[in-house]
């Protein structure tokens, strides 16, 4: 197992280096001057002040020299400073990262908690009116863009029914008690989580329906019923034997959730990494953009490594093969 982990970790390093180089090249191809874009938000400084600012922030150097300085700083654990407010990039990112992780973890829980039972129920009665209606609804949910779903959910639940907050993470009035603040945060989580989970929920539900249909008629289900297990315990037995495909699918939905967070966080004013990424691009805050790009790539690769470990634990054949190689 340790050799497997070392090989996987070694393979991620060239990927991260390639992503950082590509992101740096793309940022340097943008025509706008980051200092002019930043200074245009307030008063217009003189040409001499702009030159001094470029020298102080080291944006007057060539691309290769700036990438070398950024790489050396990264090796020391320094991602640079934001061009917008001068704070360390690590601190800026650390303030937004927990909000994005919370939103994505809730979305994964909603996707699997609803989609897998829904697919199991559809597999038990294929071709029924309820099954056909459910498949049509899932296809519709899969086709709806994230921004359109966000606006529809806001219009229905926040504007018309007024049962959920429209945006943000907390009530402006505030809540003194910890339990009240947790409840308020939960209410603000409902709409962005539902919007982020829609396409993944539809995809996993359709996939789980196909998987369960392929195994419901197999012999191990009849053996489970012959052992005296109830119908629902037998279905849980089926679910346990189909865990490997669902673990594999987790690696495919994580990048989608990371990309969808950019739109969802912007629409719902969620103070996460996606909203910070858009704001940094608009203000040409290149150090923050580079830090967020590298962090997003590292998190996706770490999540895929975690899925690979779950895959090894769920599949005895792969686990045995790794033990033989060790």
- pLDDT tens for each residue of 108-121: 999 888 888 888 78
Higher pLDDT, 163 or 124: 163
Query: What does the alpha-carbon distance between residue 80 and residue 70 come to, in Å, rounded to a whole number?
Result: 7
Of all residues in the chain, what percent carry a pLDDT higher than 90? 13
Q: Does residue 31 carry a pLDDT above 80?
A: no
207 CB-near residues (< 8 Å, 6+ apart):
119, 245, 249
In this prediction, residues 145-173 reach a mean pLDDT of 86
Query: What does the alpha-carbon distance between residue 49 and residue 30 come to, in Å, rounded to a whole number?
Result: 23
Q: Does residue 226 carry a pLDDT above 80?
A: no
Terminal Cα distance for the chain, rounded: 7
* Side-chain-facing half-sphere of 95: CA atoms under 13 Å: 10
Q: Does residue 92 carry a pLDDT above 80?
A: yes
Q: Does residue 58 carry a pLDDT above 80?
A: no
CB 84, CB 285: distance < 8 Å: yes
What is the H or E stretch that residue 311 is in?
helix 286-314
Confidence of residue 106 (pLDDT cuts 50, 70, 90): very high
Average pLDDT score, the chain: 78
Query: What does the alpha-carbon distance between residue 153 and residue 49 come to, in Å, rounded to a whole number?
Result: 47
Please tell me what DSSP assigns to residue 82.
Answer: -
Instruction: Specify the CATH superfamily of domain 96-325.
Output: MetI-like (1.10.3720.10)
In this prediction, residues 147-163 reach a mean pLDDT of 89
Q: Does residue 322 carry a pLDDT above 60?
A: no
What was the pLDDT predicted at 70? 83
Domain ranges of the chain: 2-75, 96-325
Confidence of residue 37 (pLDDT cuts 50, 70, 90): low
* Side-chain-facing half-sphere of 196: CA atoms under 13 Å: 34
Instruction: Provide the whole-model pTM.
Output: 0.80
Lowest mean pLDDT among 10-24, 49-63, 261-275: 49-63
What was the pLDDT predicted at 176? 65
Confidence of residue 190 (pLDDT cuts 50, 70, 90): very high
What was the pLDDT predicted at 94? 92
Higher pLDDT, 6 or 165: 165
């Amino acid at each position: 197992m340790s050799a497997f982990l070392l090989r996987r970790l070694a393979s991620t390093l060239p990927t991260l280096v390639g992503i950082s180089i590509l992101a740096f090249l793309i940022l340097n191809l943008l025509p706008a001057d980051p200092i002019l874009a930043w200074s245009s938000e307030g008063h217009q400084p003189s040409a001499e002040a702009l030159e001094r600012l470029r020298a102080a922030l080291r944006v007057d150097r060539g691309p290769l020299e700036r990438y070398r300085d950024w790489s050396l700083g990264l090796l020391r654990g320094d991602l640079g400073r934001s061009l917008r407010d001068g704070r360390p990039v690590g601190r800026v990112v650390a303030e937004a990262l927990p909000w994005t992780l919370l939103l994505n973890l809730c979305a994964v829980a909603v996707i699997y908690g609803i989609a897998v039972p829904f697919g199991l129920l559809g597999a038990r009665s294929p071709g029924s009116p309820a099954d056909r209606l459910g498949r049509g609804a899932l296809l519709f949910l899969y086709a709806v863009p994230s921004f359109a779903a966000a606006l529809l959910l806001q219009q229905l639940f926040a504007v018309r029914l007024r049962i959920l907050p429209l945006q943000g993470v907390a009530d402006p009035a505030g809540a003194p008690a910890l339990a009240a603040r947790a409840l308020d945060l939960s209410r603000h989580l409902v709409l962005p989580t539902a919007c982020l989970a829609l396409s993944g929920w539809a995809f996993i539900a359709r996939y789980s329906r196909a998987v369960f249909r392929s195994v419901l008629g197999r012999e191990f289900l009849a053996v489970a019923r012959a052992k005296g297990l109830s119908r629902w315990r037998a279905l849980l037995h089926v679910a346990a034997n189909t865990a490997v495909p669902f673990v594999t699918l987790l690696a495919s939905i994580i990048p989608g959730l990371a990309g969808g967070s950019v739109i969802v966080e912007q629409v719902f004013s969620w103070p996460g990494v996606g909203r910070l990424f858009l704001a940094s691009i608009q203000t040409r805050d290149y150090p923050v953009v580079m830090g967020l790009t590298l962090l997003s790539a590292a998190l996706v690769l770490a999540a895929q490594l975690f899925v690979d470990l779950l895959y090894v634990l769920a599949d005895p054949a792969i686990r045995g093969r790794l033990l033989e190689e060790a």
